[in-house]
Amino acid sequence: MLQAIFIVLSVITLGGAVAVVTNKNVFHSALFLVVVLVGVAGLYLLLEAPFIAMVQVLIYVGAISTLIIFAIMLTRRLMNTHQRQRNEQWLLSATVCLGLLLVLVVLITQAHWPVVQANVSEGSLPRLGQDLMERYVLPLEVAAVLLLAALIGAIVIARERMP
């Protein structure tokens, strides 16, 4: 049963990903990106990480995809579907990516992956919160400063120049 759900989610995710990179219309690509992000959130749920899945939906589906759609609409006039969407090196890129995928698939299927059995359905989220406040409090603060810097930087970069 879980395997069937996993296969359905993976097909949706990977199909959406292919649509994101090959679609001629960038706006449609952004909508397919939402499908991919929701599919990955479903995979997180299968991995028993509901908090990560929720954060994924909130930040990626809620914020980042909205930002991307905004940017597409602000720059839409020049990127209509009649224009070429691939550059000259797309065939070479496809070869390189297929080669990399082949190497990774061979490596992953050949290797032995030992698994630690554990029941994580309860207690994983409180532990994460506690660790974020104790063990990882410095990275957490650095992340906060990074977000603030990125916010200010984005505003400064995108602002209209004063006449």
Partner 1 sequence: MIPLSWFLLVAAALFCIGLYGVLSRRNAVGILMSIELMLNAVNLNLVAFWRYRAPLDSLGQAFVLFVLVVAAAEAAVGLALVIAVYRSRETIVMEDIDLMKW
* Shortest Å distance, C-beta 114 to partner 1: 8
**Identity of the residue, 3 or 162, whose beta carbon is nearer to partner 1 in the bound complex:** 3
CA–CA dist 154, 133 (Å, integer): 28
d(CA 48, CA 34): 21
- To partner 1, the closest distance from the beta carbon of 163 in angstroms equals 14
Residue 162, helix vs strand vs coil: coil
Nearer to partner 1, 82 or 113 (CB): 113
**How near is the Cβ of 96 to partner 1 at its closest, in Å?**
7
Q: How far is the CB of 159 from partner 1 (least distance, A)?
A: 9
Read off the tokens for 17.
């990903």
CA 134, CA 142: separation in Å to the nearest integer?
Answer: 14
Length of the chain: 163
Torsion angles phi and psi, residue 82, rounded to 5: -75, -20
